[in-house]
């Protein structure tokens, strides 16, 4: 490709680099949230937009006739998901197929690997994806509608193969030595694949033989330890049962701030509690201690009341039908005060959007 042409493509990419970086982080966070909902053990998730210098150097390998737009490059945005077992890979693959539009012509799927008689080594799957039609219609996602992302899904052992094998296979040696190295690589790849399946079999056996026995304790649980426990629906319910005044206080504060008085049923309150739990998870409030700190913060200098009053003022033309109980008031405070954390997440998948619409009376 001509140097001038390569420079033009390079400039075009640099101009959109920040958009690709945003898109990559949004996809990474979305995938992380979706996987988290399926109880899949993750070793690590990484994401990055392609380095401009690397992009320009790769242009020389491309036929100019292939290029009509930056969309011709599938890997300008890349997310790598590292997992423990092959079974996890297959489960993540299902998530990608369900949640994204998949460019099968440029993707490597489990089925395509199984059916490839010429397969060499222990390759991993990779999906070239774009946003689903439903998600791309959402305002917060619409600017990424035409972008693609390559999602690599690997076990830790596959990552070792992907990292090390190219160093060996591309080393400059004579033909005879190269053939010997390739034969050894083939044997090693078979051993690595067997190791992955073997670890999975051991893990399944360990789970099958496990016992529901709590670890023994010689000392009573201290109050500090109780508060540092990971937040669950059960200990959240226990917290509000012990501190009934919190929900009652913020229901009253919502009316003082200007929201219409609302008298929820027990069933409605139970559902509000569930949406509050979802919001706490999305806001990365992970322990009872974190929640306690947040409750104290909204009391300081009337901060919580000030926030509620600002929400009432911002939506004064449409809040006549809002239904704000005590849990819903805390939900709104989290939505506003933790927006720096929430704005990078998929609020639809995390139930935050539905919880917000419910407060507005848009859904039951």
Confidence of residue 211 (pLDDT cuts 50, 70, 90): very low
How far apart, in Å, are the Cα atoms of 302 and each of 249, 307, 309?
13, 9, 11
Q: Mean pLDDT: which of 1-10, 165-174, 180-189, 334-343 is highest?
A: 334-343
Rounded average pLDDT over 68-88: 87
Q: Which of 37-41, 115-119, 211-215, 282-286 has the lowest mean pLDDT?
A: 211-215
- 123, β-bridge pairs: none
pLDDT tens digits for 260-272? 998 889 999 999 9
Q: Mean pLDDT: which of 91-100, 123-132, 183-192, 221-230 is highest?
A: 91-100
- Burial of 198-216, coded b for 16+ CB within 10 Å and e otherwise, reads ebbeeeeeeeeeeeeeeee
Q: What does the chain come to in residues? A: 364
pLDDT > 90: what percent of the chain?
A: 42
Task: List every span in the chain annotated with CATH 3.30.460.10.
Answer: 3-167
pLDDT > 70: what percent of the chain?
A: 81
- Best CA proximity match to 41, nearest among 90, 83, 95, 94: 83
Confidence of residue 213 (pLDDT cuts 50, 70, 90): very low
**254 has pLDDT over 60:** yes
pLDDT tens digits for 23-59? 999 999 999 999 988 878 898 999 999 998 888 888 7
CA distance 180 to 189: 14
Nearest 5°: the CA angle 30, 35, 37 is 100
Query: Comparing 269 with 218, which gets the higher pLDDT?
Result: 269
Written as six digits, the tokens of 175 are 């033909």
Query: Helix H segments across the chain?
Result: 3-15, 17-37, 52-59, 86-99, 110-114, 133-136, 156-169, 175-208, 223-227, 233-242, 244-257, 266-282, 288-299, 303-314, 326-337, 339-342, 352-359
Instruction: For domain 3-167, give the fold.
Output: Beta Polymerase; domain 2 (3.30.460)
**361 has pLDDT over 90:** no
pLDDT of residue 3: 46
Rounded average pLDDT over 247-251: 93
pLDDT of residue 212: 33
**204 has pLDDT over 80:** no
CA distance 54 to 105: 24
Mean predicted lDDT score pLDDT of the chain: 83
Confidence of residue 216 (pLDDT cuts 50, 70, 90): very low
Confidence of residue 227 (pLDDT cuts 50, 70, 90): very low
Written as six digits, the tokens of 164 are 């090390």
pLDDT of residue 70: 79
Rounded average pLDDT over 149-178: 76
Confidence of residue 86 (pLDDT cuts 50, 70, 90): confident
Whole-model pTM? 0.53
pLDDT of residue 12: 87
pLDDT of residue 111: 73
- 45, β-bridge pairs: 81
CA distance 143 to 285: 29
**235 has pLDDT over 60:** yes
């Amino acid at each position: 490709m001509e140097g001038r042409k390569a420079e033009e493509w390079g400039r075009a990419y640099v101009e959109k680099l920040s958009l690709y970086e945003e898109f990559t982080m949004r996809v990474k966070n979305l995938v992380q949230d979706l996987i988290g909902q399926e109880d899949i053990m993750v070793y690590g998730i990484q994401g990055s937009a392609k380095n401009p210098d690397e992009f320009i150097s790769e242009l020389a390998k491309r036929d100019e006739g292939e290029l009509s737009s930056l969309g011709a490059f599938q890997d300008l945005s890349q997310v790598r998901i590292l997992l423990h077992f092959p079974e996890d890979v297959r489960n993540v693959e299902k998530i990608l197929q369900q949640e994204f539009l998949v460019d099968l012509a440029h993707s490597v799927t489990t089925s395509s690997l199984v059916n490839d008689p010429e397969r060499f080594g222990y390759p991993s799957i990779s999906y070239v994806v774009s946003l689903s039609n439903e998600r791309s219609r959402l305002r917060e996602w619409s600017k990424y509608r035409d972008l693609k992302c390559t999602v690599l899904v690997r076990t830790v052992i596959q990552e070792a193969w992907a990292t090390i094998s190219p160093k060996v296979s591309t080393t400059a040696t004579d033909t005879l030595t190269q053939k010997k190295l390739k034969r050894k690589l083939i044997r090693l790849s078979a051993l690595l694949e067997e190791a992955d399946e073997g670890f999975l079999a051991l893990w399944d056996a360990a789970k099958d033989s496990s016992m529901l026995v709590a670890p023994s304790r010689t000392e009573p649980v201290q109050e500090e330890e109780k508060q540092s426990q990971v937040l669950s629906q059960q200990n959240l319910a226990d917290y509000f049962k012990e501190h009934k005044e919190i929900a009652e206080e913020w229901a009253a504060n919502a009316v003082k701030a200007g929201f219409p008085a609302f008298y929820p049923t027990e069933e409605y309150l139970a559902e509000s509690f569930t949406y509050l739990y979802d919001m706490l998870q999305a806001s990365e409030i992970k322990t009872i201690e974190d929640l306690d700190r947040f409750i104290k913060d909204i009391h300081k200098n009337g901060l919580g009341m000030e926030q509620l009053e600002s929400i009432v003022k911002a939506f004064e033309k449409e809040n006549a039908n809002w239904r704000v109980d005590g849990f819903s008031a805390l939900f709104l405070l989290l939505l506003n005060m933790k927006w720096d954390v929430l704005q990078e997440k998929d609020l639809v998948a995390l139930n935050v959007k539905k919880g917000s619409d419910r407060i507005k009376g848009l859904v039951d």
